Structure 1
Amino acid sequence: MQISDLPYPDPGVPDARSGPRFLLWLGRNQLRGQLKSLAWGLLHFGSVAGLPYGVGYAVQAVVDGSGSGLATAGGLIVLLGVAIALGDTMLHRSAVTNWITAAARVQQLLARKAASLGAALTRRVAAGEVVAVSTGDVEKIGWFVEALSRFAAAALTVVLVCVSLVIYQPALGVVVAIGMPVLALAVLPLLPRATRRADQQREKAGRATELASDTVAGLRVLRGIGGEELFLDRYRRASQEVRRAAVRSARMWSLISAVQVLLPGLLLIVIVWYGVHLAREGRITVGELVTIYSAVMILNYPLRHFEEIAMAYSFSRPSAQRAARVLALRRVTEPAGGLRDAPAPTGDLYDPATGVLAPAGLLTAVVCGDPDLAGRLADRLGGHAASAGDGGEKPQPSVLLGGVPLDELPLGVARTAVLVQDKDPVLLSGTLAELLDVPSDGSVPPEEALAAAQCTDVLDALTQASLDDDPMSARITERGRSLSGGQRQRLALARSLVAAPEALVLDEPTSAVDSHTEARIAQGVRALRHGRTTVVLTSSPLVLDRADRVVFVYEGEVAAVGEHRELVRTEPRYRAVVTRETDEETATGPALESEIEIDMEETA
């Protein structure tokens, strides 16, 4: 795979059981690139290691007064210099290619996982962690993959040089062959502590990133309550913890670097002392002594890659672990028979786990006694339920659309059939026209969707802030931060209405708007979605009163079904949820019925 061929047609199915397994999987999938980098690395390091022989041969030729020997040594050194330059250039090229292709593969896998899980991703993994994995962690994973082949080439070079020196000059070669493994393994006792400190640094950095992401996301609210200084102080403390952890980690790596400088120096002292002793006895020539001395000096260069691979692994292992944790998340448990290849089904939307039924073509409102259940139910109705591998949750039967399990449909088909609008929808930056340019059948024009979502004041605000009188060309800032919560909510609702899915699931779509606007939105959605299946999870009486049917879910199961006014009279638990009444008021519920009906009629 070359950089020009990216992105991958298929990044593959990762082994996400652990961080090391994920790194091993990446290495296997880039075997060709790793072998190419290894070959160029052997040429480069081998040529570097061959220089001492040329230098020693030249020194011996000068001692012997041999002109032809000196010319041969000069030619050999020139040839090795060319090989060093070529090998280094191609090694760098192939190693960087491995780094970029590995990073691209990981980013494609993360993007595919994000697209598969949708809004459920940030419910299972903190948004800050997803950002950290897709940015800094990807770089560290790529660093390890890139350094692996260079380390392998350096290690093979060290072994070959030691064997060659033993054959070339056994007396000194044995000393080098014994000393080099000691140098390479001397830092191993320090690596566990260095790795732990690196893990602590990465963990603290991840928490700081999450805190910064959450603070920025809620900055508008924080300013409204005067709490930005409190959160900024928290981030300052978190960043100082990251700094202290980084310093502690750097101390260990500086100690490892010092050991790798000190021990080769001691080995050189031993080599020189023993070599001079052998030369005085006439057991080796001056050229052989220079050759072995130069070889030990040169071997410090490939030995540095032992330190690099240790650092790369210690930093990439926790990064790979986080990436594997994200990639291990699954949307659903795929059936043994595989996914169906069928068009988007139509019909009733039914959840066997709770008993919620949304008949085709009707507006069904769902009231949950547990507010947290509403979000989970919205996920289930959209086919985003957690599988058995996500946090140990027990798998539940698939939601059915027209009798067809959503879990058995390809992801694209399932999302075409059922669209879920999250309780806190996200608006991307761009023009309003770009925001509403979503896949749809074209049956709902943007103008009608905006009118149904009561976006008139939003359009006026966007037009005033724009240089163009056309509101569709007005720009929306990142995540719609220049708009109020209610304005963002209505624009997101308009976007969902334009998509015109077969089944639309709305989770608290009017929680941030006033009661009069809420009533008009409910009427507009009812009229625009006439003949299509719509599910609204809400506890607002104004929305519930305009639903064709209301389903009350209590303790995870359907407890009552009917019209809103009927349930207010006959179901005390339902009345307690939608009117927020206290236990004392529950007993006087019938006396409140007329007041509730009058309030709804006045609002309408």
Structure 2
Amino acid sequence: MRIRDLPYSDPGLPDVRSGTRFLVWLGRNQLGGQIKAALWGLLHMGALVCFPLAIGTGVQAVVDRSGARLALAGALMVGLTVLIALGDAMLHRAAVTNWITAAARVQQLLARKTVELGSALTRRVAAGEVVAVSTGDVEKIGWFVEALSRFTAAAITIVGVCVGLVIYQPALGAVVALGVPALALAVLPLLPRAARRADEQREKAGRATELASDTVAGLRVLRGIGGEDLFLSRYRRASQEVRTAAVRSARMWSLIAAVQVALPGMLLIGVVWYGAVLAGNGRITVGELVTVYSAVTFLLFPLRHFEEIAMAYSFSRPSARRAARVLALRRPSAALEDARAAGSDAGLDAGIDAKPPTGDLYDPATGMLAPSGQLTAVVCGDPDAAGRMADRLGGHPTEDDAESGDGGGAPSALLGGVALDDVPLATARAAVLVQDKDPVLLSGTLTELLDVPRSGAVPPKEALDAAQCGDVLEALEQASVADSGDGDPMGARITERGRSLSGGQRQRLALARSLVTDPEVLVLDEPTSAVDSHTEARIGEGLKRLRADRTTVVFTSSPLLLDQADRVVFVHDGVAAGVGSHRELLGTDPAYRAVVTREPDGVRERDNGRDRLTELERIEEQIEESA
């Protein structure tokens, strides 16, 4: 795999049973790159550790006053230098390629999982955890993949040198062959503690990142209540905890590095002392002593890769475990993923072009039915339950599924009698579009915001009109005049997450974006919670007009939207407890009226004949005023 070929057309199906298995899967998928890097590493390190032979030959040639052997030693050094430079350059190139391609594969897998789960991802994994996995953890995993080929080349080189020294000079070679494995294994007792401290640092950094992102997202609210200093002090404490943990982790790794320097130095002293004794007794020549000494000196370089691979594995294993945990999240019913895991590409290909199902939308968990072609409003007293239900209607995982841990939980929603969890994800999302309670606006122009996959039946202007975005267009027009002077609101830039707009303006632009797509089924979760009542009433009228003959489900408790609905379903204690028009339910169902009118508990239990009439009159007056 070359960098120019990124991104992958298909990053593959990872083995997420454990962090170690995930690392093995990554290595197996770039075996060619690892072998290539290892071969270049063998050339580089092999030429490097052959240098002592040339040095020893040259020294002995000087002692023996042999010009021919001295010239041969010089030529050998020149040739080895060229090989060292070539091997080093190509090793670095191949190893970095492995790092980048592995990181790209993991990031593509994470991006695919994010698209697959949608907003349900952050309900099952903290947002700060997702950010940490896609940044710092990906970097650590790539580091291990990069270091693996260098370590392989270093291990083979060390074994070869030890064997060569035993053959070349058995007495000194035996000392080196026994001492080197001890050096390589000396740091193993220190690694568990170092890994624990590194994990502690990473967890604290993740919490600090999450706190920072939450603070930035809520900065406008914090300024409104004067809470900037409070959250700044919290982040300062979290940052100091990260610094303290980083220092503790660095101390342990510095101890490991000191051991890796001290022990080889002691081995070198022992070899020189023993070699001097042997040379003094005439058992070895000066050239042989210099050769063995130089070989041990040059062995210190490949030995450093043992420390690197130990650090890389200690950091990457928990990172791989966290990445595997995120990648292991699945949709509630995963027939498609099971087919892929079994290698049944035929089943996959058959589902790619499958026609989206149509018909009535039904939720077996609550008994809610949204007839095809009608505007159905759903009233649910629990906002969290409403959010889970909206996700389920779109074929997304639910909180129940996450808690069960085995893909069970609430049954899948049915569209035209077809379970959405049993069709490919792309097909389910082509049939049902779910707009979250807090939709996100990406940075760019208004034209780019509305440039989404759509049927073409709803022009952007009609969608903006139905969503009552007139004041938003005026504000963007003024911004366009200030920026470019053309006064075109469609070309005005929207900042990240729409932070330059009010909450109601962001909500209406998100609604317009959903209306432009013109899906067969549109599910809206509290689409008007941030707008005033007059605007809300006009949005209800525009929504009903624009979505005529299309299935629309709106989760709301607003009387102004409920009065526009063809059908209202009241979900109480997890089941559809009432069905009818808004005014019918208001007059016949006390529990429904309590949710819609937000009555206190004491009022709910009173005799409600007179109160019911009063509430009906009040709502009718509110509707007439808004009209």
TM-score clears 0.5: yes
Q: Which amino acid aligns with 1:555?
A: D
Q: Which amino acid aligns with 2:318?
A: P
Match of 1:454 among 468, 484, 487: 468
Deviates more, 1:429-438 or 1:130-139: 130-139
CA displacement at 1:387 relative to structure 2: 9.1
Identify the residue that residue 306 of structure 1 maps to in structure 2.
306
CA displacement at 1:436 relative to structure 2: 0.9
Q: Which amino acid aligns with 1:63?
A: V
3-state SS of paired residue (2:480):
coil
The 5 Å alignment of 1:489-528 reads: 489-528=507-546
CA deviation string 1:512-549 (max 9, x = no partner): 11112111111111111111000001111111111111
Cα distance in 2 for residues equivalent to 1:190 and 1:519: 67
3-state SS of paired residue (1:35):
helix
CA displacement at 1:391 relative to structure 2: 3.6
Match of 1:345 among 357, 366, 369: 357
Shift of the 588–201 alpha-carbon distance from structure 1 to 2, 3 Å rule, reads: same
Match of 1:565 among 583, 587, 612: 583
Identify the residue that residue 2 of structure 1 maps to in structure 2.
2
Identify the residue that residue 23 of structure 1 maps to in structure 2.
23
Identify the residue that residue 572 of structure 2 maps to in structure 1.
554
Q: Which amino acid aligns with 1:456?
A: G
Identify the residue that residue 156 of structure 1 maps to in structure 2.
156
Q: Which amino acid aligns with 1:379?
A: D
The 5 Å alignment of 1:30-69 reads: 30-69=30-69
Q: Does 1:370 align with 2:382?
A: yes
Contact 2:388-2:399 within 8 A present in 1 as well: no
Cα distance in 1 for residues equivalent to 2:31 and 2:97: 13
CA displacement at 1:164 relative to structure 2: 0.7
Q: Which amino acid aligns with 2:143?
A: W
Cα distance in 2 for residues equivalent to 1:229 and 1:505: 39
Cα distance in 1 for residues equivalent to 2:583 and 2:609: 11
Cα distance in 2 for residues equivalent to 1:285 and 1:294: 14
Cα distance in 1 for residues equivalent to 2:495 and 2:614: 43
CA displacement at 1:597 relative to structure 2: 2.5
Identify the residue that residue 599 of structure 1 maps to in structure 2.
618
Match of 1:582 among 590, 594, 600: 600
Cα distance in 2 for residues equivalent to 1:200 and 1:313: 16
3-state SS of paired residue (1:466):
helix
Identify the residue that residue 136 of structure 1 maps to in structure 2.
136
Contact 1:208-1:239 within 8 A present in 2 as well: yes
Q: Which amino acid aligns with 2:385?
A: L
CA deviation string 1:476-504 (max 9, x = no partner): 11000011111111110111011110000
Contact 2:117-2:397 within 8 A present in 1 as well: no
CA displacement at 1:388 relative to structure 2: 8.7
Contact 1:220-1:481 within 8 A present in 2 as well: no
Identify the residue that residue 99 of structure 2 maps to in structure 1.
99
Q: Which amino acid aligns with 2:478?
A: Q
CA displacement at 1:600 relative to structure 2: 2.5
Cα distance in 2 for residues equivalent to 1:385 and 1:261: 52
Contact 1:364-1:536 within 8 A present in 2 as well: yes
CA deviation string 1:414-457 (max 9, x = no partner): 11110000000000001111111111111111111111111111
Q: Which amino acid aligns with 1:15?
A: D
Q: Does 1:79 align with 2:79?
A: yes
CA deviation string 1:7-65 (max 9, x = no partner): 11110001112222111110111111001111111111111110001100110111111
Cα distance in 1 for residues equivalent to 2:401 and 2:143: 30
Q: Which amino acid aligns with 2:470?
A: T
Q: Which amino acid aligns with 2:516?
A: V
Identify the residue that residue 384 of structure 1 maps to in structure 2.
396
Contact 1:516-1:603 within 8 A present in 2 as well: no
Q: Which amino acid aligns with 2:223?
A: R
Identify the residue that residue 430 of structure 1 maps to in structure 2.
444
The 5 Å alignment of 1:290-305 reads: 290-305=290-305
CA displacement at 1:596 relative to structure 2: 2.4
CA displacement at 1:194 relative to structure 2: 0.5
The 5 Å alignment of 1:270-285 reads: 270-285=270-285
The 5 Å alignment of 1:126-275 reads: 126-275=126-275
Cα distance in 2 for residues equivalent to 1:371 and 1:377: 10
Q: Which amino acid aligns with 1:352?
A: P
Deviates more, 1:56-65 or 1:381-390: 381-390
CA deviation string 1:292-348 (max 9, x = no partner): 000111000001111111111122122212211111111232237756452112110
Deviates more, 1:331-340 or 1:175-184: 331-340
Contact 1:40-1:90 within 8 A present in 2 as well: yes
Contact 1:330-1:386 within 8 A present in 2 as well: no
Identify the residue that residue 344 of structure 2 maps to in structure 1.
none
Cα distance in 1 for residues equivalent to 2:49 and 2:34: 22
CA deviation string 1:247-282 (max 9, x = no partner): 000000111111111111111111111111000100
Contact 1:538-1:544 within 8 A present in 2 as well: yes
Contact 1:333-1:388 within 8 A present in 2 as well: no
Contact 1:455-1:491 within 8 A present in 2 as well: yes
CA deviation string 1:334-378 (max 9, x = no partner): 237756452112110111111110000100011113221000000
Identify the residue that residue 412 of structure 1 maps to in structure 2.
426
Q: Which amino acid aligns with 1:457?
A: D
3-state SS of paired residue (1:424):
coil
CA deviation string 1:75-119 (max 9, x = no partner): 111111111111111100100110010011011101111111112
Match of 1:360 among 337, 359, 372: 372
Cα distance in 1 for residues equivalent to 2:15 and 2:201: 25
Identify the residue that residue 397 of structure 1 maps to in structure 2.
411
Q: Which amino acid aligns with 2:377?
A: A
3-state SS of paired residue (2:231):
helix
3-state SS of paired residue (1:248):
helix
Q: Which amino acid aligns with 2:578?
A: A
Cα distance in 1 for residues equivalent to 2:240 and 2:412: 47
Cα distance in 2 for residues equivalent to 1:390 and 1:144: 31
Q: Which amino acid aligns with 1:123?
A: R
Identify the residue that residue 89 of structure 1 maps to in structure 2.
89
CA displacement at 1:601 relative to structure 2: 2.5
Cα distance in 1 for residues equivalent to 2:50 and 2:592: 85
Contact 1:330-1:387 within 8 A present in 2 as well: no
Cα distance in 2 for residues equivalent to 1:389 and 1:77: 66
Cα distance in 1 for residues equivalent to 2:399 and 2:236: 38
Contact 1:332-1:387 within 8 A present in 2 as well: no
Cα distance in 2 for residues equivalent to 1:518 and 1:117: 30
When normalised by structure 1's length, the TM-score is: 0.98
Contact 2:272-2:293 within 8 A present in 1 as well: yes
Contact 2:401-2:410 within 8 A present in 1 as well: no
Unaligned regions of 5+ residues in structure 2, if any? 340-346
CA displacement at 1:132 relative to structure 2: 1.6
3-state SS of paired residue (1:465):
helix
Q: Which amino acid aligns with 1:369?
A: G
Cα distance in 2 for residues equivalent to 1:558 and 1:42: 70
When normalised by structure 2's length, the TM-score is: 0.94
Q: Which amino acid aligns with 1:7?
A: P
Cα distance in 1 for residues equivalent to 2:95 and 2:87: 12
Contact 1:330-1:389 within 8 A present in 2 as well: no
Cα distance in 2 for residues equivalent to 1:437 and 1:191: 52
3-state SS of paired residue (1:390):
helix
